[in-house]
Chain A
Amino acid sequence: MSEIKKIKNLKEFSTSADRFEGANLLCPGCAHSIIVREVLNATNDDLILAASTGCLEVCTAVYPYTSWDASWIHIGFENGSSAVAGAEAMYKALKTKGRLKQPDRTPKFVAFGGDGATYDIGFQWISGCFERGHNMMYVCLDNEVYANTGGQRSSSTPIGASATTTPAGRISYGEKRNKKDMMAIMAAHGAPYVAQVAPNKWKDMVAKIQKGFAAEGPVFINAMSACTTEWKFAPEDTISISDLATDSLVFPLYEIIDGTQLNITYRPKNIIPVRDYLGAQGRFKHLFTKQNEYLIDEWQARVDAKWDYLQRREEASV
């Protein structure tokens, strides 16, 4: 068994040598790379990585450069998960046959995908990987929109957000469907570990990633990735927007172990109104008009109901 890297505090964490390189072409202030480097820094083991098509893939593998200091592959929009699952299956087969060149090393298998590749396009493939029980981690970089192709709505886009295919205007208030509950769906696969993380809570995030690496079987991590371009806020505000999201409980941080035991890992000291979170982003600007104001109250009611539900589930541990 490999050792779990000791990360007691931020100073200790800062001695990590990054395996994700700069001069990638992600936007200034993009949360994707904050998340990716935390995932990669959470372990000292070898990494076998794949990415589905999306911002992360197109920006980190721009010809003739690669930003990855680990084995990394990209195939298609839908199959980042199956690429890693295939590598993992081969690793297992070689291990059984005793043909591994470095049998003492214990590589970690991680697939990255955006919310488009996870919630919509790659869903069937991820579901397959989880059903087959590969020993891998799938990290969804959830920025609630197809940011790479110009901001089309995905099934992760929340109600009221203005996206290029669901634009807000005189009649429409933007996206009309609620966000898909991917966490519940992945937990229903019986995965040993499913967790929701946000980049502003680095310690919570690293702890969950390490738990995920230690778990045997498929692990799903849903990481909120604030998108400065499509959520329309200034690049320096990425962390403060993430703070607003976690403190207003729009994006609660919790984990589900073995599909049943739900633990809330972050309870904000002061819960702030959802209005503050919505008001900080340009994609919700149109909600602050007389005719759309009722949507903000609906938002608040939805977030409160969800928080109630999570707390009840945690208490009942079912």
Chain B
Amino acid sequence: MEKKGWDGFEIGAMLRTFDGAVRDIATTLPENRPYSQSSSFTASVADWRIEKPLFNKDYCIDCQFCWVYCPDMSIISRDKKMIGIDFDHCKGCGICVEVCPTNPKSLLMFPEQKDEESALAEWPKKEKKADTEVKED
């Protein structure tokens, strides 16, 4: 889509988030919404990152802590399952990694250039705590 310049918008005009009508936004998932070019959803802050979180679904318990604490709506959860990270809107703050309760963490920060395959290959193994068995909730 061609972007309008600063003088392409009417003065004092409303910016419409959607092209066309959406009956009920609160129950329409982002992939079904007709975002217009005025919505920041169509923009990207990917270049803010120096480190990115990567997701290992083998250890994920779908607790959704990362979803609720993500400040950038970048954790994609569908049908109560965490399915991935939205790298257009992730700013790489690292909150999701901090709040991840699993052992080992199912989200870890890696340098921006790291490819997913090699990251998954070198994912740390479960840490054993002395004597006691670690219980995963």
Contacts and interface: CB of A to CB of B under 8 A. Distances in A.
Nearest to B69: A239
Contacts of B90: 22
17 contacts: A11-B62, A15-B77, A18-B73, A21-B17, A21-B73, A22-B40, A22-B45, A29-B93, A34-B68, A37-B73, A44-B26, A64-B3, A64-B9, A64-B38, A66-B17, A67-B39, A67-B41
A38 to B, nearest CB: 7
A46 B25 CA distance: 8
A202 B98 contact: no
Interface string B34-76: 0001111111110010000000000000111101111111100
A283 B135 CA distance: 38
Given A10-B63, A15-B79, A66-B15, A23 B68 contact: no
B94 interface: yes
B80 interface: yes
A23 B43 contact: yes
Nearest to A59: B40
A10 B75 CA distance: 14
Chain A, interface SS category: loop
Contacts of B67: 10, 14
Contacts of A202: 68-69
A106 interface: no
Contacts of A67: 39-41
Interface residues of A, number: 52
A23 B44 contact: yes
Contacts of A238: 69, 71, 93, 95
Contacts, number: 147
Which one of B6, B74, B91 has the greatest number of beta carbons of chain A within 10 Å?
Answer: B91
A15 B80 contact: yes
A66 B74 CA distance: 17
B99 interface: yes
A44 B27 contact: yes
Given A14-B68, A33-B72, A69 B39 contact: yes
B4 A23 contact: no
Nearest to A199: B69
B27 A17 contact: yes
A65 B40 contact: yes
A21 B6 contact: no
| Most chain B beta-carbon neighbours within 10 Å: one of A18, A22, A46, A200 | A22
Given A17-B29, A44-B26, A238-B95, A65 B38 contact: yes
A70 B40 contact: no
Contact of B98 (A45, A66, A239): A239
Interface string A171-205: 00000000000000000000000000001101000
Given A11-B64, A24-B72, 15 more contacts: A11-B62, A11-B80, A13-B68, A14-B80, A15-B77, A15-B78, A20-B73, A28-B48, A29-B95, A30-B71, A64-B37, A65-B42, A69-B39, A202-B69, A239-B69
